[in-house]
Structure 1
Amino acid sequence: MSRRKWLYILPNLFTLTSILCGFYSMTLSATAQGPESLYPAALAILFGMLLDGLDGRVARLTRTQSAFGMQLDSLADVITFGAAPALLVWKWALHSLGLLGLVLAFAFVACGALRLARFNVLEMRGAKGASAYFVGLPIPLAAGVLVSLVLAHGRSAAEAEVPALPVAGLVALISYLMVSNIRYRTFKQVRLSRRNLAILAFLLTTTAALAVRIRPSVALVIIASLYVVLGIVEEIVFFRRRREERLLARAARADGGAALVEDDEDDTSRI
């Protein structure tokens, strides 16, 4: 096999290993005997997140991006960040709610799959502004919120009871945010200016201090929650401007469609 073919396989190996992490997490969740035994299952998803963040970077570094890789990555995300966290949170808290808990766990998977399908369509269209914002909460970050909660609870599971109803409300909210039109920053267009480097240093220092002062898992909960809240706050603050942008985009698409129809009619009349 040529070196070039091996390079194409390399990023896909990262993606497949991410799927392995999700599958392993599901086996651990399925056989868990109590909330405290779910800690390894949550860690497996966390490792899957790390691998998911690497496969795209490896593909860009080796210049082996492909439509196949994009589709495989989406399938991996449905398993590792959709099905695995849904089973994890169902086993952790939602199972006590009976049918409602099962419906909410499935809703998380379904909304994640819809979110990924929309993302792929926007990527193929080359949607304007796609590099600056995600449309809807990305599924890895949605999974990160749930996983961080399980990790934070895991060390104190012996004395802390799992609050099923608040967790159910959170799962419903996160599921909605994934399929919503709320924009979340990708931070891809952030320039490494002195000001931005100072902000980054402050955030890293604060995160490290939180991790040392309390627990790393609690720091993860805070970071994930802040990102979720940031998108909601920005949507409220810039609601009017973004609504106008969406209306203008729809009008432009409608005008383009009308122009196409007119051209077709002219061609038909000439015939």
Structure 2
Amino acid sequence: MTKQPTILSYVRDIPNFLSLSGLACTLLAIYFSITGLYYAAMIGMVWAVAFDWADGLVARKLKGRTSTDAKFGGQLDVLIDIVSYGVTPAVLLLSYGHFEPVYLIGAFIMVSAAAVRLSYFSTYGLAGGTKYTGLALDNNSLILVFIFLFEGFFSHEVFSAVLYISGVTLAILNVSEIKTPKLSGNPRNVYLLALYTLTISAVYGFFLR
């Protein structure tokens, strides 16, 4: 009988280590959102996406990974995604809205949409093997990070509404029937994400000075 591997043995798997690195970025994004350092939170959010894409890319390149390794990695990825792309944007919205009760509605919609979206994908996978049903959740962070670049052009009250509407709109798109391509599967898009991540990090790093 084959000995069952230990839980922590999977942390040594490079794709899983990258997934956990993304989770660390997500935790920083949540921390900075709560403490009001929103520019730092944006950097954490975009790097969480970068690590999320990297784990899949490395997993596809690695040889010798078993079906069990792939299954564990897939489960870990889904659990981290709900935090990165559901909880984190919701915490950002709540914090920016000074945790007023009305923002709980938007936050619940965002987290719920992420949970439903991930459950649907775990059940049915890619439509036709090539496209997602509904907007993929990583787009939420990429779009919100871009929208936040314009925060300084609005009053706090107005941008709170912009953030609220944007978050809820993305949640609706997450659970819609639209078909979107799997961007992370294209090597050209990986380079574009790397450029986007570095650019966003540099811009928000400048804002933090």
Work out whether the TM-score is over 0.5: yes
Q: Which residue number corresponds to residue 206 of structure 2?
A: none
Q: Distance in 1 between matches of 2:51 and 2:88?
A: 15
Q: Distance in 2 between matches of 1:187 and 1:138?
A: 9
Against the structure 1 CA distance between its residues 128 and 142, is the aligned structure 2 distance closer, same or farther, given a 3 Å change threshold? Answer: closer
Q: Which residue number corresponds to residue 9 of structure 1?
A: 13
Is 1:170 matched with 2:188?
Answer: no
Structure 1 gaps, min length 5: 221-271
Shift of 1:106: 2.0
Is 1:84 matched with 2:88?
Answer: yes
Q: Secondary structure at the match of 1:134?
A: strand
Structure of larger gyration radius: 1
Q: Distance in 2 between matches of 1:117 and 1:173?
A: 19
Q: Which residue number corresponds to residue 181 of structure 2?
A: 185
Q: Which residue number corresponds to residue 116 of structure 2?
A: 114
Equivalent AA in structure 2 for residue 114 of structure 1: V
Structure 2 gaps, min length 5: 1-8, 204-209
What TM-score, normalized by structure 2, do the two folds share? 0.75
Against the structure 1 CA distance between its residues 188 and 31, is the aligned structure 2 distance closer, same or farther, given a 3 Å change threshold? Answer: closer
- Indicate the structure whose relative CO is greater, using CA pairs within 8 Å and at least 6 residues apart: 2
Equivalent pair of 1:49/1:140 in contact (CA under 8 Å): yes
Provide the aligned C-alpha RMSD in A: 3.1
Shift of 1:8: 6.3
Shift of 1:181: 1.2
Equivalent pair of 1:122/1:130 in contact (CA under 8 Å): no
Shift of 1:11: 0.6
Against the structure 1 CA distance between its residues 99 and 184, is the aligned structure 2 distance closer, same or farther, given a 3 Å change threshold? Answer: same
4+ runs of 1 displaced by more than 3 Å?
A: 5-8, 187-190
Equivalent pair of 1:95/1:102 in contact (CA under 8 Å): no
Q: Distance in 2 between matches of 1:72 and 1:21?
A: 15
Is 1:160 matched with 2:154?
Answer: yes
Against the structure 1 CA distance between its residues 27 and 160, is the aligned structure 2 distance closer, same or farther, given a 3 Å change threshold? Answer: same
What TM-score, normalized by structure 1, do the two folds share? 0.59
Q: Distance in 2 between matches of 1:120 and 1:148?
A: 28
Alignment of 1:41-56 (within 5 A): 41-56=41-56
Q: Secondary structure at the match of 1:130?
A: coil
Shift of 1:6: 8.0
Alignment of 1:29-44 (within 5 A): 29-32=33-36, 37-44=37-44
Equivalent AA in structure 2 for residue 130 of structure 1: G
Among the aligned pairs, what percent are the same residue?
24
Equivalent pair of 2:11/2:17 in contact (CA under 8 Å): no
Q: Deviations over 1:63-87 (max 9, x none)?
A: 3351110010011111112111211
Shift of 1:148: 1.8
Against the structure 1 CA distance between its residues 121 and 99, is the aligned structure 2 distance closer, same or farther, given a 3 Å change threshold? Answer: same
Equivalent AA in structure 2 for residue 53 of structure 1: W
Q: Which residue number corresponds to residue 21 of structure 1?
A: 25
Q: Which residue number corresponds to residue 104 of structure 2?
A: 102
Q: Deviations over 1:146-169 (max 9, x none)?
A: 12222x036x3xx63132333322
